[in-house]
Chains A and B, each alone.
Chain A
Amino acid sequence: MTEEEAKKLILETLQGKSKAKSKFYLKDFYAMIPDMKAREVKNIVNRMVSEGLLEYWSSGSTTLIGLKGMGKQHGEEDEA
């Protein structure tokens, strides 16, 4: 699988799940592309964040990753 194919698959998978869940562990991405080494998937996911396709959410101790703009956004934090 090429990097572009992997990115497309990741986006499609996340879009399919976005109503139920907006944030994912890095390990969830490994399961989306089982044929690829974990390290390669990690690099692709991080590149997708740099390209503005995905975004990080961090509790400080753990990092989750989701589609850019999905789930609670920074601007909504003050809303009741």
Chain B
Amino acid sequence: MGKHNTPMLDELEKGPWPSFVSDIKQQAEKGKHILKDAPEDLLGVMELSYVDKVTHWKHGGIVGVFGYGGGIIGRYCDQPKMFPGVAHFHTVRVNQPSSKFYTAKYLRSLCDLWEHHGSGLTNMHGSTGDIVFLGTTTDHLEPLFFEMTHELHQDLGGSGSNLRTPECCLGQSRCEFACYDTQEACDNLTHEYQDELHRPAFPYKFKFKFDGCPNGCVASIARSDMSFIGTWRDDIRIDQAAVKAYVGGEFAPNAGAYSGRDWGKFDIQKEVVDLCPTGCMRWDGSKLEINNRECVRCMHCLNVMPRALRKGLETGASILFGAKAPILEGAQMSTLTVPFLPMESPFSEAKELIEKVWDWWMEEGKNRERLGELIQRKSFQEFLRVCELDPDPRMVDEPRSNPYIFWKEEEVEGGWTRDIEAFRAKHQR
């Protein structure tokens, strides 16, 4: 048994899955880390939380490294005498490389550094994508930061009311669906907005995420205030010979991804054409046709027959705004705002849009109000005015669910006169 009796945590080691409890125990036994009691006391405080059914972590604190207002999160235990190894247990967010490509040497260097300055425990990766170092004391923060930046040339990520660490999918490095260079975009915007990333600038957090195509491998549509989703504006390229090869069983659908059991012969009508959400495809037994104007980029046909169907050649990204997790009201997905934006370095069009949106949010946003909530409060019409964009049918998710259109007087020829008092005399509020 370790330093603390942890029967409930021990239960978590018994399932068929890898267990974080086993990982923490391994770190405690390995003992290379400088904060010797941290892993065992972490298990102890967690067990106590399970017994008491409340957290024993306090909420935030004053810690950081000089010049930075993000990247370090103060964590203090509210039972410091019982668990001195985690009395001060600050989190460090480390900006992950684009698409999380590492060399083994780099990972070892990071882990060695963390064992020298902290608990040695990491979270690879946090939800936003950062490499997360779990638990150190305040006196280790500046030396850790100095070595990380000067020797490993590695920066901290974002936290607090800052731009959060931007994140991208594998993009063109590994994926034929990628419509723009997501790594280049992520890297460029990370460098451009260093000040917003490292110093508080906003009413609350702000996230960019870069998906190379509508498959959305970093789920930007659900997880970022500004989602970049690769798209094309010409036609899906069709190789009719390859379509026939799929129909004839020469190529496995979905690149063989569902070959674990016998699904029967591939049926293009049932498995592709009939599943198109807008019904924009037709198969006459020898030729596949797509009405590209009706395509909503669901990606199903391209995923099923990647050798036969390929994205168009005129590529860029759709820009959506306003996703968030549930805190106020429910979770919200991003709303399509710019159907197509060119995505070539230095990404000037994207930056121009970002700065208009930020200026508005900084002026109008309430404390702890995400951009999506501000758009909801002030209206999408107002948001389009800020972005200097005209309304477009592609921005409408569900026609007729809200039939109200509010015209401004200057938008209507001849304007109008309105006597609000006369109106209220007949209509109570």
Question: Which residues of chain A have a CB within 8 Å of any CB of chain B?
Answer: 25-27, 30, 38-39, 42, 45-46, 49-50, 55-63, 65, 72-74, 77-78
Is B203 in the interface zone, CB < 8 Å from A?
yes
Tell me, in angstroms, the Cα distance from A62 to B359 when the chains sit together: 19
Q: Does B67 contact A (CB under 8 A)?
A: yes
Q: Give chain A nearest CB distance to B310 CB in angstroms.
A: 41
Contact A55–B62 (Cβ < 8 Å): yes
A-B contacts, 15 listed (Cβ < 8 Å): A50-B66, A56-B62, A59-B59, A59-B60, A59-B160, A60-B159, A61-B160, A61-B204, A62-B160, A63-B70, A63-B160, A63-B161, A63-B162, A72-B62, A77-B87
Contacting pair A58 B201 (CB below 8 A) = no
- Contact status B88-A77, CB under 8 Å: yes
Q: Is there an interface contact between A58 and B60, defined as CB atoms closer than 8 Å?
A: yes
Say yes or no: B160 contacts A77, CB within 8 Å: no
A49-B69, A63-B160 given; A74·B63 CB < 8 A: yes
Residues of chain A with a CB closer than 8 A to B59's CB: 59
Binds A, one of B4-12, B105-113, B177-185, B360-368: B360-368
Distance to closest chain B CB from A72 (angstroms):
8
Indicate whether B300 reaches chain A with its CB closer than 8 angstroms: no
Given known pairs A25-B367, A38-B363, A77-B76, the reply for A62 and B69 (CB within 8 Å) is no
Residues of A within 8 A of B203 (CB): 25-27
The 0/1 profile, CB within 8 Å of A marked 1, for residues 361-386 of chain B is 01101111000000000000000000
Binding site for A on B (CB under 8 A): 58-64, 66-67, 69-70, 72-74, 76, 80, 87-88, 91, 138, 159-162, 195, 199-205, 359, 362-363, 365-368
**In angstroms, how far is the closest chain B Cβ from the Cβ of A40?**
11
Q: Which of A30, A55, A60 contacts B91 (CB 8 A)?
A: A60
**Cβ-defined contact, A57 with B60, below 8 A:** yes
| A78 in contact with B62 (CB, 8 Å) | no
Which residues of A are found within 8 Å of B362, using beta-carbon distances? 30, 38-39, 42
Measured between beta carbons, the chain B residues less than 8 angstroms from A46 are 69, 195, 199-200
- Give the one of B62, B66, B67, B366 with max A CB within 10 A: B62
Q: For the complex, what is the distance from the CA of A29 to the CA of B91, rounded to whole Å?
A: 28
B369 CB to nearest A CB, Å: 10
Contact at B202–A26, with CB atoms within 8 Å?
A: yes
B203 vs chain A, min Cβ distance (A): 6
Contacts of A50 in B (CB 8 A): 66-67
Nearest neighbor of A69 in chain B, beta-carbon distance: B62
Q: Which residue on A lies nearest to B67, using beta carbons? A: A50
Shortest CB distance A69–B (Å): 10
With A26-B161, A39-B359 as known contacts, state yes or no: A62 contacts B204, CB within 8 Å.
yes
Nearest CB to that of B84 among chain A residues? A78
Give Cα A26–Cα B365 distance, bound, in whole angstroms.
Answer: 11
User: What are the residues of chain A within 8 A of B58 when measuring CB–CB?
Assistant: 77
Cβ–Cβ contact A65 & B200, under 8 A: yes
CA distance A39 to B202 in the complex (A): 9
Nearest B residue to A77, CB-CB: B76
Contact B159 A26 (CB under 8 A): no
Inter-chain contact A56/B64, CB cutoff 8 Å: yes
In the complex, what residue of chain A is closest to B360 when comparing beta carbons? A38
| Chain B, residue nearest A25 (CB) | B367
Residue in B159, B366, B368 whose beta carbon sits within 8 Å of that of A58 in the complex: B159
Q: Which residues of B contact A61 (CB under 8 A)?
A: 159-160, 204-205
With A57-B62, A65-B200, A74-B63 already in contact, 18 other A-B pairs whose C-beta atoms are closer than 8 Å? A26-B202, A27-B203, A27-B366, A38-B363, A39-B201, A42-B362, A56-B64, A56-B69, A56-B200, A57-B61, A58-B63, A59-B160, A61-B159, A62-B205, A62-B368, A63-B161, A74-B138, A78-B76
* A58-B199 CB under 8 A given contacts A39-B362, A77-B61, A77-B88: no
Expressed in whole angstroms, the minimum distance between the Cβ of A50 and any Cβ of chain B is 6
Q: Are the C-beta atoms of A27 and B367 separated by less than 8 Å?
A: yes
A62 surroundings in chain B (CB, below 8 A): 160-161, 204-205, 367-368
Residues of B within 8 A of A63 (CB): 69-70, 160-162, 200
Q: How far is the CB of A18 from chain B (nearest CB, A)?
A: 15
Q: Are B70 and A78 in contact (CB under 8 A)?
A: no
Q: How far is the CB of A27 from chain B (nearest CB, A)?
A: 5
Q: Which residues of A contact B87 (CB under 8 A)?
A: 77-78
Most chain B CB within 10 A, of A38, A45, A49, A72, is at A38
Across chains A and B, which 4 residue pairs bring their CB atoms closest together, nearest first?
Answer: A59-B60, A63-B160, A60-B73, A63-B200
